[in-house]
Structure 1
Amino acid sequence: MVKKTWLKGIGLFLSLAMLAGCSGQSKPTAGAGQDSNEIVIGANFELSGDVATYGTSSLNAAMIAFDEINAKGGINGKKIRVVKYDNKSDKTESMNVATRLITQDKVSAIIGPVTSGNTLGVVPVVNSKKVPVLTPTATHPDVTIDPNTKKVNEYVFRACFIDSFQGKAAAEFGLKKGKKAVVLVSQADEYSKGLAKFFKEGFAAGGGTILGEEAFNKDDNDYRAILTKVKSQEPDVIYLPAYYEVVAKVVKQARELGIKAAFVGGDGWDSPKLVEVAGKDVLNNCFFTNHYTPEDPDPAVQSFVKAYKEKYGQTPDALAALAYDGARLLADAIQRAGSTEPEKIKEALAATKDFPAITGKFTLNENHDPVKDIVIIELKDGKQVVSEKIKSK
């Protein structure tokens, strides 16, 4: 009798233990289970693949910011621990990384990805899991506004201006170079198509004429057929919203064909690889919209440039500057929230006002987009020179 009672007791204990275990695994909570002395932030960046230089410079800069914060005691007495993954410059992998960071690593927030396409892959994940993501550099409007519902993506924020402003600023500048333009678009790239759309709208509204639009594949190596057609149209301006690896090939081949028109592009041009591949002489009479210049004499900018050069041996590009700002903005929101709970961090991000970024002080608007100025960069013998600044509208 005693033996049977003992066995029943053991059975009841095991059953309760199993139920408790199942209950604990059913609803993993982001930010939960973190060490009381640390804040866990996820990093989802393109460290290999097509835009690896962007992802690498962005992660490098973000880590400088987090290290600086930790060196000063962390956030509200807690140190930041960063969990880093490579999304391989791929939309599906970006989604997988976001899921892993939230469900397995229990991060309180995520910084990255870099590109608009990869960030759009992350949006449904963070919205469903209710964990904020801050992309430093994804400029497509759909990143923060759902194109179907027209509602704000509640858990998505960014530190960069958006393509509607960037494309129209490029058009405003392009009209100073001439009234006739041709647009070259990467057909499978949301970033390129978005910028092209807003450039065309702005150029036409300003009294310019779009002579034509030509689509290309970003994996092409020979663009001469398209460029021969462009040459026959005799444009004053060629708008090329693409990433640096394509821009270098297109501009080089255009100059070889005798095309002398001004090339204008977006922030995707900003990489030291552009000059390395194209050559400095080829890039004269080329301009692009950007977020900052390392030549800015502002002490905060120069402090960042110095720190980056000392650690990584090269000048930080605009994406690095935005990632540095993005990391600091995320830390600032966590401090203001006074919590590692994703929901409270999200609320603090949405309330950001007059943030002192090195890419220009900004306030996040109701769409979670920063209101900030834009810089027009001219390439002169391979060096970046500020041509002008266009005020946010």
Structure 2
Amino acid sequence: MAFPSTLQRLAAVSAVALASSGAALAQEVVKIGYSGPLSGGAALYGKNVLDGMQMAAGEINAQGLEVGGKKYKLEIVALDDKYNPSETAINAQRLVQEHKTPAILVPHSGGSFAVQTNNEAQKYLLLSYTSVPQVTARGNKMTLRIPPEFTSYIEPFVKHAMGKYGKNVAIANADHDYAKAWTAAFKPAWEKAGGKVVAENPMSYNRATDFYSGVSRVLAAKPDVLFIGGASEPTGLVVKQARELGFKGGFIIIDQAKMDEMAQVTGGYAPLEGSIGVLPVVDDPAPATKAFVERFRKAYPGRNPSSEVSLNYTAVHATALAMKLAGTTTDAAAIRASLDKAMKQLPPAANPHGLEGVDERGGSLANTRVAVVEGGKVQERALRDFR
């Protein structure tokens, strides 16, 4: 029988040591999952969310993440769900089972509701990028709703559009779950203020690229205002086609669509004259936000960050800090319990949107601001301006 030489034995020992070292290094990685649209009509929206997450992960890794006395590398694992809640549910299972993600970020309400059916039982944290109140009203104790509730926008949107253009509104927004939730809250508010809904024709923003027939249908009712919104690019197309069909009124834009991104489709802000929507990040005068915009532009030349970028950037920073405060990368309940404290301790550079904390239901708190387009320019407005 041939016996292994000393060199062979040393080589075998080294191989085992290297394998063990590799396993140890693999255990020092913590992953945050992402399931969102990376293809289809909402692809830009999903990519903005992911870019914000990855930008934060890069900064966290550069600074060093230490949790419970161990150093970790933070990784973002991204899966495309095409804005389909059933795909989100499948992706969530993959992320938890294959990648052991203690937290998964989902940037749409339908997918968030799908995840909430089992995330408490499976003990992982849902980072929900949707402003639908029902996401936190359900009482799911393993959820963070990243943006403030959209209901804070409704009163100023109604007052601005009705006061400037008139009482007849036509609904021509998207047909996904988030847009439906907006419509359900907006219609009674508009009618309570003395307005009338003269037409209603939701459209498939995520699949269609031609909205002439749908827009023509609602314009036949001669509205003063169009209530629109979904992902930014198709929303911009709706505006462009409405103007080409002769519409002279104003637009109420739900918070998923961003005016600066829409302007790239419409050919500038002039077609958006009289609109009201959320304040674009690039037009936010806060010093921390301006500094964030410049960092993003350096990292992604030729692009500007949207609130999808900035808010989800902050969500990842807050989650990493909550892990540190909780002393764990695996106990999602402990991480969730530390999120309010983490949000309040974030330095301004990591919190360009100025989130102020997390309420008892898991919703973020913020000083909400809106924007109007006047004279072809975006003008910032505080909520108190509409009271």
Which of the numbers 162, 183, 194 marks the counterpart of 2:149?
A: 162
State the AA in 1 paired with 2:125: P
Q: Which residue of 2 aligns with 1:246?
A: 234
Q: Which residue of 2 aligns with 1:145?
A: 137
| Contact 2:131/2:149, CA 8 A, preserved across alignment | yes
- 2:355 is aligned with 1:371: no
RMSD of aligned residue pairs (Cα, Å): 2.9
Which of the numbers 230, 254, 258 marks the counterpart of 1:270?
A: 258
* TM-score under structure 2 length normalisation: 0.81
| Contact 1:43/1:82, CA 8 A, preserved across alignment | no
Q: Which residue of 2 aligns with 1:235?
A: 223
State the AA in 2 paired with 1:167: I
| Contact 2:169/2:195, CA 8 A, preserved across alignment | no
| Contact 1:185/1:242, CA 8 A, preserved across alignment | no
Deviations 1:128-187 (A, max 9, x none): 31111212x3122232233xxxxx111111220223223344223323323413232456
Change (3 A) 1:320 1:193: same
State the AA in 2 paired with 1:339: T
| Contact 1:251/1:282, CA 8 A, preserved across alignment | no
* TM-score under structure 1 length normalisation: 0.80
Which of the numbers 294, 299, 302 marks the counterpart of 1:311?
A: 299
Indicate the SS of the match to 1:86. strand
Q: Which residue of 1 aligns with 2:14?
A: none
Deviations 1:169-206 (A, max 9, x none): 42233233234132324563111111112222222333
Aligned partners of 2:106 and 2:311: how far apart in 1? 12
Which of the numbers 313, 326, 348 marks the counterpart of 2:338?
A: 348
Aligned partners of 1:226 and 1:319: how far apart in 2? 27
Change (3 A) 1:364 1:185: farther
Deviations 1:323-343 (A, max 9, x none): 111111111211221212222
Which of the numbers 117, 121, 126 marks the counterpart of 2:110?
A: 117
Aligned partners of 2:158 and 2:64: how far apart in 1? 46
Q: Which residue of 2 aligns with 1:208?
A: 195
Aligned pairs for 1:16-95 (under 5 A) are 37-76=28-67, 78-89=71-82, 90-95=84-89
Change (3 A) 1:206 1:68: same
Aligned partners of 2:122 and 2:352: how far apart in 1? 31
Which of the numbers 91, 94, 106 marks the counterpart of 1:97?
A: 91
Change (3 A) 1:253 1:36: closer
Change (3 A) 1:49 1:216: closer
**Identity over aligned pairs, percent:** 24
Aligned partners of 2:54 and 2:332: how far apart in 1? 21
Q: Which residue of 1 aligns with 2:6?
A: none
Structure 1: runs of 5 or more not aligned? 1-32, 147-151
Residue 35 of structure 1: CA displacement? Answer: 5.1
State the AA in 2 paired with 1:182: V
| Contact 2:136/2:361, CA 8 A, preserved across alignment | yes
| Contact 1:168/1:198, CA 8 A, preserved across alignment | no
| Contact 1:171/1:200, CA 8 A, preserved across alignment | no
Decide which moves more: 289-298 or 314-323: 289-298
Which of the numbers 274, 284, 287 marks the counterpart of 1:299?
A: 287
Aligned pairs for 1:169-188 (under 5 A) are 169-186=156-173, 188=175
Change (3 A) 1:272 1:81: same
Deviations 1:247-294 (A, max 9, x none): 222212211221100011022222765233332266231534326522
Residue 67 of structure 1: CA displacement? Answer: 1.8
Aligned partners of 1:230 and 1:121: how far apart in 2? 32
Structure 2: runs of 5 or more not aligned? 1-23
Aligned partners of 1:188 and 1:55: how far apart in 2? 17
